[in-house]
Amino acid sequence: MKKISFGVVGYGKMGSSLVKGVLNSGLLSAKNTKIYDLDGARIGLAKRDGLFAVESLAEIAGSHAILLAVKPKDMPRLLDKLKALVPAGSALFISIAAGIKIATMESRLGEGSRIVRVMPNIAASVNEAASVFVPNRWVRASDIKFATSLLECIGVAYRLDNESLIDAVTGISGSGPAYFFLMMKAIESAGKRSGLPGDLVRSLVSQTCRGAGTLALRSSEPFDQLIKIVASPGGTTEEALKVMESKGLSQTVIDAVVAAIEKSKKMNYS
């Protein structure tokens, strides 16, 4: 894997997180990873991260695999440029751009283009991402193996063959870290208000969130049962949950995730 040349277009928050996660895992080598970005500040960041920054798309055109990590609105123009540089089928394209359908990429890159559409999340930078990918019809078995290895080294990876489900994935795991950060911020505020030192309460909140996630991953029990395990009758947890439900927390979260999913469905850049 370390001998595979990896081109990256876009070194923003998500692109850099994924690249850092992959390099931290040792799957790919920094010397075989080339970064291209129109933003000089991001190029500077890539160089500080020890990566090889290039000045033109042509310099990554010969890569075995090319990660497309630009904003969705910039993708159509980028795809048109890449079509002129990369013969259809000669490279594996991995796109993490929300709202850019496989059909759009195929129409702009040309018939026979090997494409994997991915929805990762920001936790890729600490190798704890939850990623879902959808391959197109021209992807090879070796491409699936590479994409799976790439995503598994930054967390967990799941394959879907129904691209329409990507919107739901976007609303749940793509945007998901922000939901938990908001909850953690609220709990942190309550802890500070109760007199706990800021650094202590942040550590307590972060570790508690991590522990809950680990318990859920290792347990086959439904979430309702896990809640009952923590919430003893007449105890402090039960009291907190009563307040949350009286404020409509569960329905608010459901409505918020559905709104994110619907927004993803509308983000169709062609």
- Please say whether the beta carbons of 98 and 264 come within 8 A: yes
What's the confidence (pLDDT) of residue 214?
Answer: 97
pTM of the complete model beyond 0.85: yes
Q: 150-192 pLDDT, tens per residue?
A: 899 889 999 999 999 999 999 999 999 999 999 999 999 999 9
Higher pLDDT among residues 14 and 214, named by residue: 214
Is the model's pLDDT at 268 over the cut of 80? no
Return the percentage of the chain with pLDDT > 70, whole number.
99
DSSP class of residue 236 equals H
CB 5 within 8 A of CB 67: no
Mean pLDDT of the chain: 93
pLDDT reading at 123 higher than 70: yes
Residue 113 and residue 137: Cα distance in Å, rounded?
A: 9
- Identify the pLDDT of residue 49: 85
Q: What percent of the chain has pLDDT over 90?
A: 79
Kindly tell me if the per-residue pLDDT of 25 is higher than 90. no
pLDDT band at 126 (very low <50, low <70, confident <90, very high): confident
pLDDT at 2 over 70: no
Mean pLDDT, range 24-53, rounded to an integer:
89
Provide mean pLDDT across the span 34-62. Answer: 91
For residues 88 and 65, the answer to whether their CB atoms sit within 8 Å is: no
pLDDT of residue 1: 61
pLDDT in tens, 199-219: 999 999 999 999 999 999 999
How is residue 251 written in tokens? Answer: 């329905």
Q: What is the pLDDT of residues 254-266, one digit of tens each?
A: 999 999 999 998 8
Sign of CA dihedral 93, 97, 103, 109: negative
Residues in the chain: 270
What distances in angstroms separate CA 156 from CA 32, 123, 169, one per listed residue?
Answer: 24, 11, 14
Residue pair 51/35 in contact (Cβ under 8 Å)? The answer is yes
Whether residue 13 is predicted with pLDDT greater than 90 in this model: the reply is no
pLDDT score for 23: 86
Residue 28 has pLDDT above 80, yes or no: yes
Q: Sketch out the chain's domains with CATH numbers.
A: 6-165 (3.40.50.720), 174-266 (1.10.3730.10)
Which of the two residues, 77 and 126, has the higher pLDDT score? Answer: 77
Provide the pLDDT for residue 153.
85
Average pLDDT over residues 227-250: 97
